[in-house]
Amino acid sequence: MYRLMDGMKLVAAVAIVSCGASQVVADDFPSGPIEVINNSKPGGGSDIFLRFATEAAAEILDTSIIHLSKTGGVATNTLKYVQSKPADGHTLFIVNAGTALTMMSGSIDMDQDDIIPLVRGTVEPEFIVVQAGRFEGGADFIEYAKSNPIKQAGTKVGGNAHVNALIMKNTIGMAQQTYVPFEKSGEIVINVINGNVDVALLNHEEFASQAAAGQVDVLAVLLPERLENMPEVPTGHEIGLPMDSPQIRGLGVRAGTPEEVVDKLEAALLESMKSDTYVEYLKGSGQDLTSVTGRDAFGAEFKTMYDNYQSIKKELLGG
């Protein structure tokens, strides 16, 4: 009995020490500035998201936040930079479709198990946009695409827009699709209006003014349910295109980061994204705080995204 009690006391003592050490790690973090790494150019959509999402976090965590852009190879240079930094929570990075695509491509020695998708900040829907009057509706476009060649506009080859175009082609069963990349969304809209391309998948703010002017038609939103603020726009499912492709943006941290630090970062970022400034940012794209979620839901969502992209890997990468 004496030895048993000693053993129980030892276990209790170890638990107290471990708990104390965890608290010290959490209390000491952060010990310096936190870097936030973007995989696109400064001033772009991802950069703007990251700045709004982390604006209040600097005060919450009582540290400075430094924003860096590491462009090249979709997210290759971003993830290489992240790999070069310690897994201590002082380096956060964008987690989006480009992150999954880069890992899938094999251009970097990382996969989904090497990161922790920490918080999701946006779920921005994509819309099927065509020249005004070109088609009678979404079902008419789908029937046309099944028997005619389609020019589909988007941004860079290998990026999120290209991936969604391939998924759309396969889901519809297009006769032939030619993907036409442009540098900016404004160029895409102009070419849709002029009839140089047949269709594009765009976010609301990218075509809103042209839709209001009657220059483009919106055939569907690629979500499971209609949007409350655009109830007149059918879903892809309703027109015969069972495809969902919201543009998701979030922040991640390297796997291996101490659990206490991960918890502290998650809580700080979720609190940061409750700020009035961030809520106004969300409203600008027709979103609200339902777009914001923590690592359990975001981690599961990222895994689904990663797995779904495997279906078009051969077409996208040619291997």
For 177, the enclosing helix (H) or strand (E) is strand 176-181
Distance CA 264, CA 63 (A): 13
pLDDT digits (tens, 9 = 90+) for 79-108: 999 999 999 999 999 999 889 888 888 889
Distance CA 90, CA 261 (A): 9
On the question of pLDDT at 72 being above 50, the answer is yes
On the question of pLDDT at 315 being above 90, the answer is no
Strands 176-181 and 149-154: parallel
Distance CA 52, CA 278 (A): 6
For 173, the enclosing helix (H) or strand (E) is none
- The SS3 call for residue 123 is strand
Which among 10-14, 71-75, 93-97, 228-232 has the top mean pLDDT? 93-97
Residue 7 — pLDDT band, cuts 50, 70, 90? low
Pick the CATH number of 33-124+247-317 from 3.40.190.150, 6.10.140.120, 3.10.110.10, 3.90.1720.10: 3.40.190.150
pLDDT for position 162? 87
Distance CA 139, CA 237 (A): 10
Mean pLDDT within 40-64: 93
pLDDT digits (tens, 9 = 90+) for 33-44: 999 999 988 888
The DSSP result for 202-249, as a single string, is E-HHHHHHHHHTTSEEEEEESSSS-BTTBTTSPBHHHHT------EEE
- In CATH, what number does 127-239 get? 3.40.190.10
On the question of pLDDT at 130 being above 50, the answer is yes
Q: Which of 136, 123, 124 is nearest to 219 (CA)?
A: 136
In the chain, alpha helices (H):
2-28, 45-54, 57-61, 76-83, 97-105, 138-147, 160-172, 185-193, 204-212, 236-239, 259-272, 276-283, 295-309, 313-317
For residues 143 and 100, the model is more confident at 143
Q: What is the maximal distance between C-alpha atoms in the chain?
A: 88
pLDDT for position 104? 83
pLDDT for position 20? 55
Q: Percent of the chain at pLDDT above 90?
A: 66
**Least confidently predicted of 58-62, 175-179, 221-225, 275-279:** 221-225
pLDDT for position 207? 94
Mean pLDDT within 114-125: 95
**Least confidently predicted of 3-7, 53-57, 224-228:** 3-7
Q: Which residues pair with 248 in a beta bridge?
A: 123
Amino acid occupying residue 281: Y
Residue 203 — pLDDT band, cuts 50, 70, 90? confident
On the question of pLDDT at 18 being above 50, the answer is no
Q: Do domains 33-124+247-317 and 127-239 have the same CATH topology?
A: yes
Residue 2 — pLDDT band, cuts 50, 70, 90? very low
pLDDT for position 21? 52
pLDDT digits (tens, 9 = 90+) for 186-197: 999 999 999 999
| Joined tokens for residue 65 | 């936040």
pLDDT for position 9? 62
On the question of pLDDT at 266 being above 90, the answer is yes
On the question of pLDDT at 168 being above 80, the answer is yes
On the question of pLDDT at 14 being above 70, the answer is no
Q: Percent of the chain at pLDDT above 70?
A: 91
User: What is the side-by-side strand order in the sheet with 127-131?
Assistant: 176-181, 149-154, 199-202, 127-131, 216-221
- What are the domain boundaries of the chain? 33-124+247-317, 127-239
